[in-house]
Every structure is written in C-alpha cells, then in structure tokens.
Amino acid sequence: INVILIPLSIKSQKSSVQQTRIKPKLDELKKKYGDDKQKYSEAMQKLYQEENVSMSGGCLPMVLRLVLMMSIYYLIMSPLTYLLHIDSATVTAAAEALGKNANARAELQIIEAVRNGTIDFPQIASKLSAIDFNFFGIDLTQTPKFSFDIFHDAQPIWVMPIIAFLAQMLTSALSLVMQKKLNPDAPNMAGMMLTMPLLSLFIGFTLPGGVAFYWACSSLIGGRIQVGVQQFYGPQKMLSRERLKELNKECDFEENQLKKIKTNQTLLNGEAAEK
C-alpha cells in the first residue's frame, strides 16, 4: 500500500517544500496585515494561487492511509466474511451457537471455537484449513491481553504490539528529524512524537495481532519510503531545481530579446540600404 502511495508521498513532499519556500512572503503578509485576519487570509490565498502552491497538498496521503487502515481493520476483524467468503447465514448460525451476536469481533471467536471443537461447522472448518493465520507460530487472529505481571502472563502475541510500537517510534523520530530539516523554525514536536507510537501500542493490545502486524510493516516500509523521498526531493534539492528553472526562463527571455533586437536591427539595416 505504501508503495502504491509513493506518487502521493512525492506530491506531499513537494507541497511541503513549496510552503517552506513561500514562508518568508507569508511572514511579510502577517506583518503587513497584523490582526486583520480576513485580509491576511485573502492575501494568503492569492499568494498560494500566484505561487501555484496547494494549501492541502500534504493531506491526501494521510487521508488515504486512514481509509486503507480501516479497510485492513475490517479485513482482519471479519476474516470469515472478507477472506473466506462464508455466507452471512452460516456466520450468524455459528455466532448464535456461541451465544453471540453476529458482529465483527464474533468472527474471531467463531474461528477459535471451531478450531477448539467447541462448535461444529464443517463448512467453516474446511475453509479455515486452507488459510494460515500464523506468523512464525504466532496466531494473528488472537487479541493480546495486557497484564502488568509480564513474567506470569506474557504471551507470544505480545510481540506484535511491541514491534508496532518500536516501528512507529522509529518512523516518528525520522519524521521529526526530517521536519526540522525542512523547517528549522518549526516548534518542537518531541511531545507529539510519542502520540502515534502510544496509539499503536494501545491498538495493538485491543485488536487482533494482525492489525499490529500490519501497523508495524506499514510504519517500517513507510519510513524507508519517506527517507528515500526526502533524499530525492529534499528542500535544498527542490529549491535548487526551482532556482535553475527560473534562471533558464530568464536566459530564454534574454535570448529571445537578443534575437528580436538582432531581427529588428537587420530589418532597419535592410530599409536603410534600400534608401
């Protein structure tokens, strides 16, 4: 998914660099209009249009990732419906056999009950045998149960939320470093850096291990892509390219002006010769 979103990540990076480029002009507008927020807002929108900079260019990748995250959530929470394509009547009957409502979380309980032989549904058991939910011996359909007594209650599935936390921590640290490079004057966001890792840890201990596993993989791959995008589309490189384009335009303009002058001079010389 992160690989598919690379073009949007590049677009987001370019948008961030462009916003950094016009920051001095925005600061001038703030000084000019002071507390007049309406005039400042109008001037800011005009500046963005003139500079061809999108005010929301960096939001789309984030929104798409959230949408995809929700899709992964439903996929993992309802594997009988979305992975094994078992009809709703069978799922409902299995849930009722367990005394549960046929909701998303019930499907994971149905899988556990069928495997343990608590309920007998051959049509579910046959399809379960065709798919492996284990990762190095860890059942990704299990939900970790947190306990402070880690020496007594620790479970293999605990590995998933911990890995998700560490992966997100690494990605957040990289993001903070790159943000500082992009905008050294930006406020210190060290406190915010812990928000996503702690959220990943919380989600990892409240949802099946597959969600935490996806989160960890997404964070690591996304972080590596982020570093790559930063290397190829970093602020200095982007601004240098912009400056080079401007210089080329100036050179082209001057060259065209010289051609016009030479053409006009040739015409004038021709007219003078005729006279």
**Blockwise average pLDDT, block size 10, the chain, 275 residues:** 71 73 80 78 81 66 74 81 85 84 76 82 80 77 72 74 89 78 61 80 84 85 78 67 64 61 57 50
The pTM (predicted TM-score) of the whole model is 0.62
In a domain, 259, yes or no: no
Structural domain count of the chain: 1
Is residue 267 assigned to a domain? no
The CA-atom distances, in angstroms, between 264 and each of 209, 267, 269 are 77, 5, 9
Evaluate whether residue 56 is within a structural domain: yes
Q: Considering the domain boundaries, does residue 207 fall inside one?
A: yes
Does 223 map to a domain? yes
Q: Identify the three-state secondary structure at position 30.
A: helix
The two tokens of residue 16 are 């961030």
The three-class DSSP label of residue 138 is strand
Is residue 189 included in any domain, yes or no?
Answer: yes
- The answer to whether residue 216 is domain-embedded is yes
Range of the domain at 165: 6-83+131-233
Q: By the 8 A CB rule, do 58 and 15 touch? A: yes
pLDDT of residue 243: 66
Contact assessment for residue 236 and residue 169, using Cβ atoms and an 8 Å cutoff: no
* pLDDT of amino acid 96: 85
